[in-house]
Amino acid sequence: MPAILSIGDAFPPFVLQQEEIMHFSKRLFSESFQDIERLLHVFPHGQVQKRYFVKDLDWYQQDHTFVEKNNAFIKSAIELGSEAITNCLHNDTFLKRQIACEEIDAIFLITSTGIATPSIEARIMNILPFSEKTKRIPLWGLGCAGGAAGLSRAFEYCKAYPEAKVLVLAIELCSLTFQRHDHSKSNLIGTSLFGDGVVCVLVAGDEVETETICSLASIPKILATQSTTMRNSLDVMGWEVKNDGLYVVFSKDIPAIVEKWLKPIVGQFLREHHLTIESMDHFIAHPGGKKVLDAYVKALQLEPSMVDSSFHVLKNYGNISSATVLLVLKAFLQKASANEWGLCTSLGPGFSSELLLIRWE
């Protein structure tokens, strides 16, 4: 049962309140939508209060080429990625001692908001003192499901190599994909929701002496994972690639899909381990948006308080694509107790679901 030992994060310097972004969007979209006042209700109703961005608001009011936006992604991804790794490996809250970069056997790099070859983790390895033998596993295009998927792949790696310590590094700079000339409702909703940030998770295999490393009273262990992809659902979520960059695809049917499609998947996954949703002490849900979290509560018949941590992350950071569920997980590292169960879940392009069963020991 691979263990989650530490989580560190890093955020860009510009913090914008939701009201500022709403007024910006009103100016931008007012000519495109006759009912702009009604549509702007998504900003206060979404329960996002503030978000972090790599650029100030003036930057988004100007035209930028795909090259300019992607170069900005690479620069900020390297800086924030290095900071998040350091914050994870030198975390006094979760670790008894600092973990050296040379101790890391593999890095799983998760992103969907920028393109780089060599990939970002290779560039970071020229800044931080990782071993030249560190394995690199970049995963691109998983979107909001990427954080949970990265944990799942790290789990499998540590099952195969139980002496390993690995990092899951989720880097999402969603604001750099903003298209000021895309006057679609999907873009308006995305403008009300997405933010920037980086989260890094340290995962260790069974043969690592976790008690000598981790200072948590109860250490979360990953017991099982499941990936599920819905057939013929490519248009639910993702990017449309055009000459000037990435255009968001964001179906209004996502909450309905959560209600109808996810419940049997979750039920079957838990039954395979002789558990039920009522057995879960903690529900670690990616906050895709208020309607998505409400759909989780309705579909799985959860107590509303089960998604309080997800709502807290949504309120203070917005949706940071793959990184967001890892922020929610971070909130549970100290509050959970021994012998408690957790279910971690994210949804993303494909359309796909990622589930992880976690137990604190």
pLDDT digits (tens, 9 = 90+) for 81-112: 999 999 999 999 999 999 999 999 999 999 99
CA distances from 131 to 107, 135, 195 (A): 11, 9, 32
| Cβ atoms < 10 Å from Cβ of 28 | 19
Q: What is the pLDDT of residue 212?
A: 92
Q: What is the pLDDT of residue 192?
A: 87
Q: What is the pLDDT of residue 254?
A: 82
Q: What is the pLDDT of residue 358?
A: 97
Q: Which two tokens stand for residue 340?
A: 């408690």
- Fill in the DSSP letter of residue 184: S
Q: What is the pLDDT of residue 25?
A: 84
Q: What percent of the chain has pLDDT over 70?
A: 100
> What average pLDDT does the segment 53-79 reach?
94
Q: Which two tokens stand for residue 316?
A: 């203070």
> What average pLDDT does the segment 128-150 reach?
96
Residues 16-35: tens digit of each pLDDT? 999 998 888 888 777 777 77
Q: How confident is the model at residue 332 (pLDDT cuts 50, 70, 90)?
A: very high
Give the angle subtended at the CA of 169 by the CAs of 191 and 206, to the nearest 5°: 140
Q: What is the pLDDT of residue 188?
A: 79
**What mean pLDDT value characterizes the chain?**
92
Q: What is the pLDDT of residue 41?
A: 80
Strands 196-204 and 220-229: unpaired
Give the 3-state secondary structure of 82-140: HHHHHHHHCCCCCECCCCCHHHCCEEEEEECCCCCCCCHHHHHCCCCCCCCCCEEEEEE
Q: Is 82 left (phi over 0), alpha (psi -120 to 50) or beta?
A: alpha
CA 128 to chain CA mean position, Å: 23
| In the predicted structure, residue 278 carries a pLDDT above the cut 90 | yes
| In the predicted structure, residue 72 carries a pLDDT above the cut 90 | yes
Least confident range from 8-22, 179-193, 316-330, 342-356: namely 179-193
Q: What is the pLDDT of residue 291?
A: 87
101, 144, 158, 174: which one is catalytic?
144
| In the predicted structure, residue 222 carries a pLDDT above the cut 90 | yes
- Whether 101 is catalytic is no
Contact status, residue 10 vs residue 89, Cβ threshold 8 Å: no
Residue among 9, 307, 294 nearest 147 (CA): 9
| In the predicted structure, residue 155 carries a pLDDT above the cut 80 | yes
| In the predicted structure, residue 322 carries a pLDDT above the cut 80 | yes
Q: What is the pLDDT of residue 59?
A: 93
Q: How confident is the model at residue 164 (pLDDT cuts 50, 70, 90)?
A: very high
Contact status, residue 296 vs residue 265, Cβ threshold 8 Å: no
| In the predicted structure, residue 255 carries a pLDDT above the cut 90 | no
Contact status, residue 283 vs residue 275, Cβ threshold 8 Å: no
Q: What is the pLDDT of residue 248?
A: 82
Q: What percent of the chain has pLDDT over 90?
A: 71
The more confident residue out of 173 and 187 is: 173
Q: What is the pLDDT of residue 162?
A: 97
Q: How confident is the model at residue 61 (pLDDT cuts 50, 70, 90)?
A: confident
Residues 175-214: tens digit of each pLDDT? 999 888 877 777 878 888 899 999 999 999 999 999 999 9
Contact status, residue 157 vs residue 127, Cβ threshold 8 Å: no
Q: What is the pLDDT of residue 288?
A: 86
Q: What is the pLDDT of residue 179?
A: 85
Specify the residue for token string 């069974």.
206
The strands making up 3-10's β-sheet, listed across from edge to edge, are: 135-140, 106-111, 165-173, 196-204, 3-10, 220-229, 352-360, 341-348, 282-285
Q: For 116-122, which contacts have Cβ atoms below 8 Å and span 24 or more sequence positions? A: 116/70, 116/73, 116/74, 116/77, 120/74, 120/77, 120/78, 120/81, 120/169, 120/171, 121/81, 121/169
The more confident residue out of 77 and 253 is: 77
| In the predicted structure, residue 340 carries a pLDDT above the cut 90 | yes
> What average pLDDT does the segment 250-259 reach?
80
